[in-house]
């Protein structure tokens, strides 16, 4: 199994998938508690920024001091490195796993697998994020994607929430959109 394949990465991260799911959903839930008169004033960009900040705060609480996990910040890009194998960032995404905001220089470098100061070159890089429903009021799904360039992903996996899993069932499913011939 290749080191960066969906099966390999999701197996390596299997013990923290529920933490990722909670972290993302918690970030959105905190945002939804804002006074509706203020929510109505937010642009999609402001909404994504607030949710991101709440996700990062929860990730710090969840992973700080956890064995084998360290947070690093590279010019504002916050990453969590799991063991020596996987670097994770949190993002708003589309259903294909692509980031839904204007990428910074560091985000582009992360996606292109370029060397980043402070990040060992070995870890697989993935984004953990969310897709909102059309109304923007509910998390449709939490997913993990492996970026491959600024506008591409190698694969995308949806985390199945604990309460939606069958007993003994998988914690994730491959939701990578298949390319059609000629597109």
Place 178 in a pLDDT band, splitting at 50, 70 and 90. Answer: confident
Q: What is the rounded average pLDDT of the residues 121-138?
A: 88
CA end-to-end distance (rounded Å), the chain: 28
Q: What is the dihedral of CA 22, 27, 30, 35, to 10 degrees?
A: -150
pLDDT digits (tens, 9 = 90+) for 15-29: 999 999 999 999 999
The full 3-state SS of 45-80, as one line of letters, equals HHHHHHHHHHHHHHHHHHHCCCCCEEEEEECCEEEE
pLDDT value at position 1?
A: 53
């Amino acid at each position: 199994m290749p080191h960066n394949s969906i099966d390999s990465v999701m197996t390596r991260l299997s013990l923290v998938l529920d933490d990722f799911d909670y972290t993302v959903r918690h970030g959105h839930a905190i945002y939804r508690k804002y006074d509706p008169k203020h929510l109505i004033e937010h642009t999609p960009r402001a909404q994504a920024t607030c949710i991101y900040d709440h996700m990062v705060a929860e990730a710090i609480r969840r992973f700080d001091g956890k064995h084998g996990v360290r947070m690093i910040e590279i010019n504002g890009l916050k990453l969590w490195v799991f063991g020596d194998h996987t670097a994770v960032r949190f993002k708003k995404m589309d259903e294909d796993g692509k980031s839904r905001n204007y990428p910074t220089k560091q985000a582009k470098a992360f996606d292109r697998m370029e060397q980043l100061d402070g990040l060992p070159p070995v870890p697989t890089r993935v984004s953990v994020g969310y897709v909102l429903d059309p109304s923007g009021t509910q998390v449709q799904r939490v997913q993990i994607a492996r970026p491959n360039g600024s506008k591409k992903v190698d694969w995308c996996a949806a985390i199945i929430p604990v309460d939606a899993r069958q007993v003994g069932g998988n914690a994730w499913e491959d939701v990578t959109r298949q390319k059609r011939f000629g597109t």
